[in-house]
Amino acid sequence: MLKSTIRVLIFIPLLSIVEPVRAFQGILQPAFGARQAGMGGAFQAVGGSVMDLESNPSHLGRLKNAKWEIGAGFHSPRIEYKDRYISGDPNEAYENRLVESPKAILPYLGYITPLNDRVGIGFALYSQGGGGGMFSNIRRLSPNGKTLDETLGTDLPYIGNERRILENLVYKFMTVKFTSGVGMKFGNLSLGAGLDLVYAFMELQKTYRDPTGSLELPGSLRYDSDPSYSYGGKLGMSYDMSNTVRIAYSYTTRNLLPLDGSMRVLESDGTTQASRVSRYMVWPDKHIMGISYRKEPWILDFDIKFIPWSQSFRSSKFVLDHSSVTTPFGTDSNVMQMNFHWKDQWVFSLGGEYKWNENFRTRMGYSYGKTPTGERGVSPMLGTTTEHHLATGFGWYMKEYAFHFALEYGFPKSVSGAKNSDWTLAHSVFPNSDVEVQRFDHSKSMSVVSLYLGMEKNI
């Protein structure tokens, strides 16, 4: 049974990572499920969905009938990265403005059923979140400002004295969860728990090429993690204060993701140095509180979510078994560290559903979460996230079937990089007389349009 589950967990990311994946509250989706998305992700105290297994399994204790549900979020972000290097030498100065519009599909499916009038169980498989970027042909000054001839130890015609090169970046990170859970009702109180099995992987490529794109240059590296498996859980409660008002709370544990893998680095002599990499990443825990109001034809919900990103996404260290990585100061090291400097995040969501008749319901919602990314964490690979999200949707009910549609827009958000960030230091030249890091400026902005589709069947 466990092997079958793991095979399924591996299959879902292959569907999801057609392009690098982004998510949009930190690196989490604003909503899990099409009905939830139409209400702006405000669903903590509502219940009645398979995706309660992601947010609050206590609602399973109130199930009246079994149902299965399947759906996906189709995300289309617009990501713009800009930088410039200002120099008195026109042969060194450069400027970049790159726009990327990838597509990402994050599916979900599950089944829930009551065992009696007080106990319900279920399972769900879903893409939890991730991040990434893919930028090509970024103009750069070669490491330490060397010419191509000095870097390669050759005498190249036409381009040998060129100091400017091209940088290509690929970063992918993805997590998927399989959750089985149970909910039990005790009068007005319902309690629930879920067990999470987690799959994750990461890929990182940073390659350099000459201005024509023909030659790969020393310092290029490629990292691929081994498949990562972990586990965690969640606890939830919900309480009916009256026939119309319900309050709810849930806590999801953090997940320790072992991401050991391999890294290949192109050396100055043209050979590739392969190293094993030791590293791990912590997927953060989260707290969600919600209150809902139900009185036909209305359902209203307000949620507050807290994610302590600062405990998980401050930095990530790659430890190699060889000193193959060159630092910005020109020394070789067996440690490569990515500093994110993320901050804790509060997310506020408000949504509503209006029932026009037995067959048709409309939804609307809004959420806000200040980006956890600070100016020291901005880079093309993992930087700014959107803050304001506006959503609308509808549900069409036909006998035992229901079809859900939602459209969400994440308004543009831009963050400028700090002068002392890792990304600035990595792309600055250090003369013998002074350190001129102020010459490099960079920023990143993002907006996103998301379409959610879902279908459920009552059994």
Which candidate, 72, 98, 80, 90, places its Cα nearest to that of 18?
72
Give the amino acid at 218. P
Distance from C-alpha of 40 to C-alpha of 47, rounded to nearest angstrom: 15
pLDDT of residue 383: 58
The owner of tokens 């949504």 is 351
pLDDT of residue 431: 55
Residues near 393 by beta carbon (within 8 Å), at least 6 away in sequence: 34, 35, 37, 38, 39, 362, 363, 364, 404, 405, 406, 407, 452
The DSSP string of 375-434 is GGG--SSS-----EEEEEEEEEEETTEEEEEEEEEEEEEEEEPPTTSHHHHHT----SS-
**H helix or E strand, kind and range, residue 35:** helix 34-38
pLDDT of the chain, 459 residues: tens digit per residue: 434 433 443 344 334 433 444 444 557 888 999 999 999 999 999 999 999 999 999 999 999 999 999 999 999 999 999 999 888 778 788 999 999 888 888 999 999 999 999 999 999 999 987 777 788 899 988 877 788 888 888 888 888 888 888 999 988 888 999 999 999 999 999 999 999 999 999 999 999 998 888 888 888 899 999 999 999 999 999 999 999 999 999 999 999 999 999 999 888 777 888 899 999 889 999 999 999 999 999 999 999 999 999 988 888 888 888 777 776 656 677 888 878 888 999 999 999 999 999 999 999 999 999 999 888 888 877 656 789 999 999 999 999 999 999 999 999 999 888 887 878 877 766 555 554 445 788 899 999 999 999 999 999
Query: Global pTM?
Result: 0.88
The domains of the chain, with CATH numbers, are: 2-458 (2.40.160.60)
In the numeric block, which tokens belong to residue 267?
Answer: 């050396």
Assess whether the previous peptide bond of 297 is cis (omega < 30° from 0). yes
pLDDT of residue 2: 37
* CA dist list (Å): 399 to 43, 68, 69, 358: 24, 14, 15, 9
> Please, what's the largest Cα pairwise distance for the chain?
83
Distance from C-alpha of 49 to C-alpha of 408, rounded to nearest angstrom: 19
